[in-house]
């Protein structure tokens, strides 16, 4: 879901489709794994991995600014960089599967929750849920309660008009690249520890995020949040009531349905 | 897009004379099919600027259709190829009608997810679709190396020619106009969606056909055909070869597939080299060497490019 928000954030503010987010997701997970293994401390390694993810996102944006080289070329550039990052990860870590060395306080089930409501919840999941809601609130605050967010929204409405009243579109683009990159890195650090690492792991969350973005509508953050909650609800229902194998198809099926019935998504508005 | 760009492909007929042919013939077959796949991608992407990020979907669909018909029903090779053509054309219509109606990046995002969908389906129905192992024992086109190579080559050149003729025809011109300015096409009384869908169906049919040839040449299909690396490599190779030139993407894909054995490096290293080259080209834009992607509208007006 956060990947979707990060992606849509970039698109809304600077008309920039970044297909490399999936690979940044992979890279950050691998880096965090690597830093943890050479044991330089949990928080420090997470921070370092996240910083690299953000820097990479800014770097890609720097080279692929759609305003400079055209939107198609910039999309092609992000695709090439996605393949490049994936290739580099494969080159250094090989095609083996790795699993995250979880710290003991994150590995087990939460006792308090188990005793009060009787549902076993992994601590990692709990952390992910609470932190992602906090991030969501933070993004909302940034967008609707700060001067920066005012600028973003102005840019999303009309770029040339916004520049006319003194919004620095170039700087805002870089800031939104940083925000997008940090959202993706955070999603990676929160989600990947509960699974295994492999070089093309980033594509599945990216495509699920795309499904969510299509359902919610490109260029609408509110739609993305609502769609993310709705899609994951349907996903879980299918997972438990029908069959786990079909649940992977849910985001795509919903996206296909949305495209057929309401092409711009639930809340989308496309120029 | 010049007609004489097709001629270098004829030299491929001479390749079996070289001593290394026996070792690399399957690589060459694969490179030819990838060339056709990339050229078929170029018909839509290079002309109309609608990037199909799931070209592997049609390739895999054609391959699986042929394999299933051949193994389960014992269909002959022409029958499987006809069936693959039909299936990919119908699928092209089914996907193209909803997703090409709307402007913008929806089409790219939607097509990116299609290969994943089919990959999942092969795991959901392991008995019918072979699961992770794929389907083996497809009726082979030819059992000799040279036979399969020439069969693939003839198919590749024929499709290249057809794609080129479509590109050079009036329809191709309209497709190119769509890439420049959709509203101008509409103003001329033409329906842009119809032409976009036509381009997509043509592109799908040739992708499906090359998939069918893949199944018949190699004798097996596997879910790997649907992987992102196939779809996205097609995009990168198409950009490398020059969008909208048909022959360019074909050569680029052919040569990139031959990189690993030629340089003595693995597939991963080849990908890294290729992507770095493409990224540099995209930033630097040596427009005299290759007009990589049609420059933006303003620039086109400033220096009208010859085509």
Is there a single domain that holds both residue A65 and residue A103? yes
A-B Cβ pairs (cutoff 8 Å, strict):
122
Final residue belonging to a domain, choices A174, A201, A228 = A201
pLDDT at B293 over 70: no
HSE-CB at B301 with a 13 A cutoff on CA atoms is: 3
pLDDT at B277 over 60: yes
Task: Quote the radius of gyration of chain B (alpha carbons, Å).
Answer: 19
Looking at per-residue pLDDT, the higher value among A223 and B32 belongs to B32
Provide, as residue numbers in chain B, all residues whose Cβ is less than 8 Å from the Cβ of A87.
268-269, 271-272, 275
Domain count, chain A: 2
Whole-number Å distance between alpha carbons of B114 and B103: 19
Burial group, residue B259, by CB count within 10 angstroms (0-12, 13-18, 19+): middle
Q: What pLDDT shows up at residue A103?
A: 56
Measure A256 CA to nearest chain B CA, in Å: 8
Torsional class of B49: left (φ above 0), alpha (ψ -120 to 50), beta (otherwise): left
Is there a single domain that holds both residue A187 and residue A213? no
Is there a single domain that holds both residue A196 and residue A215? no
Final residue belonging to a domain, choices A186, A201, A216 = A201
Selected for mutation to probe chain A from B45, B282, B298 (highest A CB count within 10 Å) is: B282
Whole-number Å distance between alpha carbons of B302 and A82: 33
Q: With H, G, I as helix, E, B as strand and everything else as coil, classify residue A196.
A: strand
**pLDDT tens-place values along chain A, 271 residues long:** 555 566 666 565 556 677 888 888 888 888 888 887 776 777 788 888 888 888 988 888 888 776 666 677 778 888 888 888 888 888 888 777 777 665 544 555 555 655 566 566 666 677 777 777 787 778 778 877 888 877 777 777 777 777 788 777 778 888 888 888 888 888 888 777 777 788 777 777 777 777 777 777 776 667 777 787 788 788 778 877 777 667 777 777 787 787 777 766 666 655 4
Is there a single domain that holds both residue A151 and residue A214? no
Q: What pLDDT shows up at residue B282?
A: 77
Is there a single domain that holds both residue A132 and residue A98? yes
Looking at per-residue pLDDT, the higher value among B225 and A9 belongs to B225
Provide, as residue numbers in chain A, all residues whose Cβ is less than 8 Å from the Cβ of B123.
245
Q: What DSSP state is assigned to residue B14? A: G
pLDDT at B300 over 80: no
Beta strand A98-99 with A196-197 is antiparallel
Question: Is the Cβ–Cβ distance between A15 and A160 less than 8 Å?
Answer: no
Contact check, Cβ <8 Å, A73/B292: yes
Q: What pLDDT shows up at residue B292?
A: 39
Contact check, Cβ <8 Å, B283/A63: yes
The range of the structural domain enclosing residue A28 comes to 2-201
Question: Is the Cβ–Cβ distance between B28 and B149 less than 8 Å?
Answer: yes
If you measure CA to CA, which chain B residue comes closest to A263?
B102
| Structure confidence by residue, pLDDT tens digits, B154-188 | 888 888 888 888 888 888 888 888 777 777 878 88
- Other C-beta atoms lying within 10 Å of the C-beta of residue B97: 14
Contact check, Cβ <8 Å, B282/A73: yes
Question: Is the Cβ–Cβ distance between B278 and A64 less than 8 Å?
Answer: no
Buried b (16+ CB within 10 A) or exposed e, B275-286: beebbebbeebe
Whole-number Å distance between alpha carbons of B42 and B40: 5
Mean pLDDT throughout B126-155?
Answer: 75
Contact check, Cβ <8 Å, B98/A260: yes
Whole-number Å distance between alpha carbons of B125 and B115: 16
Buried b (16+ CB within 10 A) or exposed e, B64-86: bbbbbbbbeeebebeebbbbbbe
A94 φ/ψ angles, rounded to the nearest 5 degrees: 80, 180
- Other C-beta atoms lying within 10 Å of the C-beta of residue B304: 7
Q: What pLDDT shows up at residue B244?
A: 75
Looking at per-residue pLDDT, the higher value among B46 and A111 belongs to B46
Q: What pLDDT shows up at residue B299?
A: 41
**Cβ under 8 Å to A: B residues 247-306:** 268-269, 271-272, 275-276, 278-279, 282-283, 285, 292-296
Mean pLDDT throughout B133-145?
Answer: 73
Q: What pLDDT shows up at residue B301?
A: 43
**Cβ under 8 Å to A: B residues 217-236:** 227-229, 232-233, 235-236
Mean pLDDT across chain B: 77
The structure tokens 């014992």 sit at B74
pLDDT at B148 over 60: yes
Tell whether B194 is within 8 A of chain A (Cβ).
Answer: no
The residue among A205, A89, A88 whose CA lies nearest residue B275 is: A88
Q: What pLDDT shows up at residue B303?
A: 46
Question: Is the Cβ–Cβ distance between B118 and B60 less than 8 Å?
Answer: yes
Is there a single domain that holds both residue A184 and residue A267? no
Is there a single domain that holds both residue A224 and residue A176? no
Predicted confidence band of residue B304 (pLDDT cuts 50, 70, 90)? very low
Final residue belonging to a domain, choices A172, A201, A230 = A201
- ipTM of this predicted complex? 0.76
Is there a single domain that holds both residue A141 and residue A15? yes
Domain range annotation of chain B = 21-227
| Structure confidence by residue, pLDDT tens digits, B180-209 | 777 787 888 888 888 888 888 989 999 888
Q: What pLDDT shows up at residue A189?
A: 81
Contact check, Cβ <8 Å, A263/B98: yes
Contact check, Cβ <8 Å, B228/A203: yes
């Amino acid at each position: 879901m956060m990947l979707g928000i990060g992606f849509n954030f970039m698109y809304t503010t600077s008309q920039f489709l970044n297909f490399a987010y999936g690979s940044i997701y992979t890279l950050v997970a691998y880096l965090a794994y690597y830093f943890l293994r050479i044991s330089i401390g949990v928080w420090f390694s997470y921070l370092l991995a996240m910083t690299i993810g953000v820097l990479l996102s800014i770097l890609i944006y720097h080279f692929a600014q759609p305003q400079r080289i055209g939107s198609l070329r910039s999309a092609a550039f992000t695709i090439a960089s996605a393949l490049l990052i994936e290739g580099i990860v494969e080159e250094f870590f090989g095609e083996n599967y790795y699993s995250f060395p979880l710290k003991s306080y994150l590995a087990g089930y939460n006792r308090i929750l188990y005793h009060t409501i009787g549902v076993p919840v992994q601590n990692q999941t709990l952390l992910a849920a609470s932190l992602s809601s906090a991030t969501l609130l933070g993004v909302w605050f940034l967008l609707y309660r700060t001067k920066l967010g005012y600028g973003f929204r102005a840019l999303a409405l009309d770029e040339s008009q916004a520049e006319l009243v003194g919004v620095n579109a170039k700087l805002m683009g870089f800031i939104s690249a940083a925000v997008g990159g940090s959202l993706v890195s955070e999603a990676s650090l929160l989600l990947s520890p509960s699974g295994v690492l492999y070089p093309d792991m980033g594509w599945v969350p990216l495509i699920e995020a795309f499904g969510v973005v299509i359902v919610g509508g490109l260029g609408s953050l509110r739609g993305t949040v609502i769609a993310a909650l709705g899609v994951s609800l349907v996903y879980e229902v299918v997972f438990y009531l029908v069959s786990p194998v079909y649940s992977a198809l849910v985001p795509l099926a919903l996206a296909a349905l949305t495209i057929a019935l309401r092409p711009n998504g639930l809340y989308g508005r496309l120029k | 897009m010049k007609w004489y760009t097709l001629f270098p492909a004829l030299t491929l007929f001479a390749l079996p004379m070289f001593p290394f042919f026996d070792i690399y013939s399957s690589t060459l077959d694969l490179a030819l099919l990838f060339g056709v796949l990339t050229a078929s991608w170029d018909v839509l992407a290079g002309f109309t600027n609608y990037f199909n990020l799931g070209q592997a979907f049609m390739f895999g669909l054609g391959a699986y259709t042929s394999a299933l018909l051949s193994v389960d029903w014992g269909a002959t090779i022409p029958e499987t190829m006809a069936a693959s053509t039909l299936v990919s054309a119908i699928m092209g219509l089914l996907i193209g009608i909803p997703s090409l109606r709307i402007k913008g990046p929806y089409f790219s995002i939607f097509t990116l997810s299609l290969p994943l969908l089919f990959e999942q389906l092969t795991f959901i129905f392991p008995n019918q679709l072979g699961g992770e192992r794929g389907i083996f024992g497809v009726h082979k086109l030819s059992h000799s190396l040279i036979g399969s190579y020439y069969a693939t080559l003839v198919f590749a050149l024929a499709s290249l020619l057809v794609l080129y003729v479509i590109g050079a025809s009036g329809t191709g011109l309209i497709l190119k106009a769509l890439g420049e300015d959709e509203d101008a096409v509409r103003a001329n009384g033409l329906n842009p969606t119809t032409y976009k869908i036509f381009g997509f169906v043509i592109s799908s049919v040739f992708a499906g056909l090359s998939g069918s040839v893949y199944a018949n040449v190699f004798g097996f299909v596997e879910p790997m055909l649907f992987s992102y690396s196939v779809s996205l490599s097609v995009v990168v190779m198409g950009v490398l070869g020059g969008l909208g030139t048909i022959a360019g993407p074909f050569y680029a894909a052919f040569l990139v597939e031959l990189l690993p054995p030629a340089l003595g490096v693995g597939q991963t290293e080849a990908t890294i080299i290729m992507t770095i080259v493409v990224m540099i080209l995209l930033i630097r834009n040596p427009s005299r060497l290759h007009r990589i992607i049609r420059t933006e509208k303003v620039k086109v007006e400033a220096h009208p490019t010859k085509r």
